[in-house]
A = this chain, B = another copy of it.
Amino acid sequence: MMGRLAVIGLGPGRDGLVTPEAAAALADAEALFGYQPYLDRVPPRPGQIRHASDNREEIARAQAALALAATGARVAMVSGGDPGVFAMAAAVCEAIEHGPAAWRTLPLTVHPGITAMLAVAARVGAPLGHDFCAISLSDNLKPWDLVARRLAAAAETGFVIALYNPASKARPDRLKDAFAIFAERLPPETPIVFGRAAGRADERIAIVPLADAADEVARADMATLVIVGSAETRLVPRDGLPPLVYAPRSSGRSVGIGT
């Protein structure tokens, strides 16, 4: 029998945000691969084998999953958020490209999920409501000057910017460096959203103006998703409710409602 590999997005971490197709693919798998905290989200099933690995071993994990699928097993690789956004799907494709020819005949299915920027955006309104970009601040896979050029270009041309992997022990100052780039290019009142564990019990959402972001920048960790507004991003105070943050659909000029 031919094996297969499913790469599954678990979303931001609440069961109600796992798609039915992802849940069905998890249930169908004989073996699961993934980073331990993601495997921990999947309800145990009798007979289903689990292979946990460190978060830094993405290619080795992809290779192990493909090798097992090539023996005829139904294998699933779990990923937080969406597997195609700074997660396991690219590592699996990379392993297939450079692996044995047999891996290129294996059925591969990617099950999309709710990625962190969508989950955080939903909690505060619609901060991704106009053109936006997603940038990983992790620079163990790309040079910092390339990241810096992208950050500058995005801020200068009015993109909203979602930042993934903003901080780690190996590179504690990258988020601070990014905010120095924004401070030179965006108004001090630009709304910034810091979202950690969006939608989970330990959720923490903070909305601060760019000029006052230093404390939140210092507090951000790898589980934080940062949304940097554009000059057009609006902050709407509400009575008895948290403020709304949204990017107007109209952009680059003043457009009145109904005109």
List residues of chain A with CB under 8 Å of any chain B CB: 11, 14-21, 24, 58-59, 82-86, 89-98, 101, 104-105, 107-108, 110-115, 118-119, 121-123, 125-136, 141-143, 146-147, 149-150, 153-154, 156-159, 234, 236-241, 244, 246-253, 255, 257-258
Contacts and interface: CB of A to CB of B under 8 A. Distances in A.
Contacts of A90: 125-126, 129-130, 246-249
A127 B197 CA distance: 26
Pairs of residues from A and B, 7 with the lowest C-beta to C-beta distance, nearest first = A90-B129, A133-B133, A93-B246, A89-B126, A16-B21, A142-B251, A110-B122
16 contacts: A20-B20, A83-B126, A89-B246, A93-B125, A96-B244, A101-B239, A108-B125, A111-B122, A112-B114, A112-B119, A112-B121, A115-B118, A131-B135, A143-B253, A153-B156, A153-B157
Contacts of A92: 126
Copies in the complex: 2
